[in-house]
C-alpha cells in the first residue's frame, strides 16, 4: 500500500530497480551478488497526488451516510445483487476500435462482478498508488429511485497486464470470505474478522477513469474503507503515550497482538501465507467503538503455501533473515510470524524496523540478513519495550527465539 515510509526498500527477486513513484520513473540498479531490491520512495503526503479527483459521468446525487451504509453492505454480502453479466458494449462498425471488457479467468471471479445496471461508482480522491494499482476513495450506490450508497475504497489496475495480480488477490479474498462465513464464528465467536471485506469487482473504462487507455475496460476491486492505517496510527499515538509504554499504548498494543495472532491462525487454517505483512498493510478503524479495529489488506503476494514456487516481492525491513540468506527458501508460517513480530515491534517503539539505517540499501540488506533489529534499537526505543516485561517477552519470543505461532499464543494468554 501507499504508506511505506520514504526510501523503504522492497525486496524483489526478479529485478533490481530504484523506482520513484512520485515521478513514475526508474533507473537501473546495481546487483549485489544474488540480492536484488526495489526501493520504493512513495511519499503519500504529496498533495499533487492526493488532490486528484475523477468522476464517473453517471455519478449519483449526494447521499447521507447513516444506516444506509450497513444496508448496502449487507446487500452486497448476500451476493443476491451480484451479476456475472459483464458490461455490454454497443455493437459498432468493425472500423471502430471499441473497448472490450477484460475477460476474467474463472467463472468464480465473474460471479463476483457487480452489474452496472444495478450499481454505479463515483470516484473521489486518490489515497494510494503503487506499481500495480491506484487506490481511490469512491461512492458505491444503487441505481434506483430510493438509492442507497456508501463510501468504499477501489483498487484500479495501472495497466491491463496488471489485472492478473488483481485477479489473484480477489481469489484470495474470496477464500478468506468463505472461511469467515463457514468457520470464523464457530472458532472465534463474534470478534471482528481480521481481514478487510471485499464487496465485488466493477468494470471501469477511460470515460470513468482518465488514466486508463482508450482500448481498456478493466475490472477493479471494491473494498471496505477504514479511517487510517497502522503506520499513521502509530505516529499519531506515540505523541501522547508514556516513554515506558508501547508507542500506541498498552491496551492498543494488546489489541493489535490479538488481531495479528487470530489473523495468522486463519491463514494457517487455510494453508496460506500473506507474504507482505507490514504496518502499511494493516488498516485501522477508530470510529467504530471504544477500541480500534485492525484489518489486514493487500494480498497481491499472498498465496496458498502449496502454490508458492519462488520468493515473492517483500518489503526489505519486514523480511525475515532466512529469506535473504537463502533465496531458494520459500515463505511459510514462520516467516509471516516474524514479519508480524516486526509490526508489533514498530507499534511498541514508534519507529519502523532498522529506522535510521535505510540510507544505504546494501548496508540495510546486510543488517536484515543478520536479524540485528534488536541490537540497533536506541535507548528510547528499548525503554518502550522493556517498560512492560510481558511485551518484551512476546517480542523476544517472536523475533529472537523464533517460537511457533502456537507457543506465542500460549504466551499471550
**pLDDT tens readout for residues 104-115:** 999 999 999 999
The C-alpha atoms of residue 36 and residue 44 are separated, in whole angstroms, by 25
Judged against a pLDDT cut of 50, whether residue 306 lies above it is answered with: yes
Beta-strand relationship, 149-157 and 198-205: unpaired
Judged against a pLDDT cut of 50, whether residue 18 lies above it is answered with: no
Q: 227-412 belongs to which homologous superfamily?
A: Transferase(Phosphotransferase) domain 1 (1.10.510.10)
DSSP per-residue string spanning 7-57: TEEEE-SS--EEEETTTTEEEEPPPBTTB-EEEE---TT-HHHHT-B---T
What is the predicted pLDDT for the residue at 106? 96
Domain ranges of the chain: 67-224, 227-412
What is the predicted pLDDT for the residue at 74? 67
Closest by Cα among 4, 5, 10 to 361: 10
Query: H or E stretch including 299?
Result: none
Class of domain 67-224: alpha beta
Closest by Cα among 349, 315, 354, 351 to 335: 315
The C-alpha atoms of residue 41 and residue 20 are separated, in whole angstroms, by 5
The verdict on whether residue 155 carries a ligand-binding annotation is: yes
SS3 category, 346: helix
Mean pLDDT of 219-248: 97
Q: To the nearest 10°, the Cα dihedral for 313, 49, 344, 18?
A: 40
pLDDT in tens, 257-285: 999 999 999 999 999 999 999 999 999 99
The C-alpha atoms of residue 56 and residue 205 are separated, in whole angstroms, by 10
Q: Phi and psi dihedrals of 204, rounded to 5? A: -125, 150
Mean pLDDT of 293-317: 95
Beta-strand relationship, 37-40 and 17-20: parallel
pLDDT in tens, 28-84: 332 333 333 443 433 333 433 333 333 333 333 333 344 455 656 666 765 444 444
Judged against a pLDDT cut of 60, whether residue 187 lies above it is answered with: yes
What is the predicted pLDDT for the residue at 147? 85
Judged against a pLDDT cut of 90, whether residue 358 lies above it is answered with: no
Closest by Cα among 399, 387, 54 to 242: 387
What is the predicted pLDDT for the residue at 59? 34
Q: Worst-scoring range by mean pLDDT, 74-88, 198-212, 349-363?
A: 74-88
Model confidence, pTM: 0.81
- Taking every pair of Cα atoms in the chain, the longest distance, rounded to a whole number of angstroms, is 73
Judged against a pLDDT cut of 50, whether residue 94 lies above it is answered with: no
The three-point CA angle 69-75-77 to 5° equals 100
Amino acid at each position: 500500500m501507499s504508506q511505506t515510509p520514504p526510501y523503504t526498500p522492497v525486496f524483489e527477486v526478479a529485478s533490481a530497480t530504484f523506482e520513484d513513484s512520485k515521478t513514475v520513473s526508474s533507473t537501473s540498479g546495481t546487483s549485489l551478488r544474488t540480492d536484488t531490491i526495489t526501493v520504493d520512495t512513495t511519499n503519500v503526503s504529496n498533495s499533487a497526488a492526493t488532490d486528484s479527483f475523477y468522476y464517473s459521468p453517471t455519478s449519483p446525487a449526494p447521499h447521507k451516510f447513516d444506516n444506509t451504509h450497513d444496508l448496502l453492505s449487507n446487500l452486497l454480502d448476500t451476493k443476491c445483487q451480484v451479476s456475472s453479466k459483464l458490461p455490454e458494449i454497443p455493437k459498432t462498425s468493425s472500423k471502430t476500435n471499441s473497448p472490450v471488457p477484460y475477460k476474467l479467468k474463472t467463472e468464480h471471479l465473474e460471479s463476483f462482478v457487480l452489474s452496472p445496471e444495478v450499481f454505479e461508482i463515483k470516484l473521489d480522491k486518490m489515497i494510494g498508488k503503487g506499481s500495480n494499482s491506484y487506490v481511490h476513495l469512491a461512492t458505491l450506490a444503487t441505481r434506483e429511485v430510493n438509492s442507497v450508497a456508501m463510501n468504499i475504497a477501489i483498487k484500479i489496475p495501472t495497466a491491463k497486464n496488471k489485472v492478473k495480480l488483481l485477479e489473484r488477490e480477489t481469489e484470495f479474498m474470496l477464500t478468506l470470505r468463505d472461511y469467515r462465513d463457514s468457520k470464523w464464528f464457530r472458532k472465534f465467536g463474534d470478534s471482528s474478522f481480521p481481514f478487510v471485506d471485499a464487496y465485488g469487482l466493477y468494470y471501469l473504462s477511460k470515460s470513468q477513469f482518465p488514466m486508463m487507455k482508450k482500448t481498456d475496460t478493466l475490472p477493479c476491486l471494491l473494498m471496505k474503507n477504514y479511517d487510517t492505517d497502522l503506520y499513521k496510527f502509530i505516529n499519531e499515538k506515540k505523541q501522547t503515550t508514556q516513554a515506558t509504554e508501547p508507542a500506541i499504548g498498552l491496551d492498543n498494543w494488546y489489541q493489535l497482538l490479538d488481531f495479528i495472532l487470530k489473523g495468522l491462525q486463519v491463514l494457517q487454517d487455510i494453508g496460506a501465507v500473506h507474504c507482505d505483512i507490514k504496518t502499511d498493510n494493516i488498516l485501522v478503524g477508530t470510529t467504530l467503538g471504544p477500541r480500534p479495529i485492525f484489518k489486514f489488506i493487500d494480498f497481491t503476494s499472498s498465496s496458498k503455501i502449496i502454490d508458492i514456487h519462488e520468493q515473492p516481492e517483500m518489503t526489505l525491513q519486514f523480511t525475515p533473515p532466512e529469506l535473504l540468506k537463502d533465496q531458494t527458501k520459500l515463505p511459510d508460517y514462520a516467516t509471516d510470524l516474524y514479519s508480524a513480530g516486526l509490526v508489533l515491534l514498530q507499534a511498541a517503539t514508534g519507529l519502523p524496523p532498522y529506522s535510521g539505517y535505510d540510507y544505504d540499501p546494501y548496508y540495510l540488506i546486510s543488517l536484515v540478513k543478520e536479524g540485528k533489529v534488536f541490537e540497533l534499537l536506541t535507548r528510547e526505543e528499548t525503554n518502550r519495550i522493556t517498560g512492560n516485561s510481558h511485551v518484551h517477552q512476546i517480542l523476544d519470543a517472536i523475533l529472537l527465539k523464533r517460537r511457533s505461532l502456537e507457543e506465542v499464543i500460549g504466551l499471550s494468554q
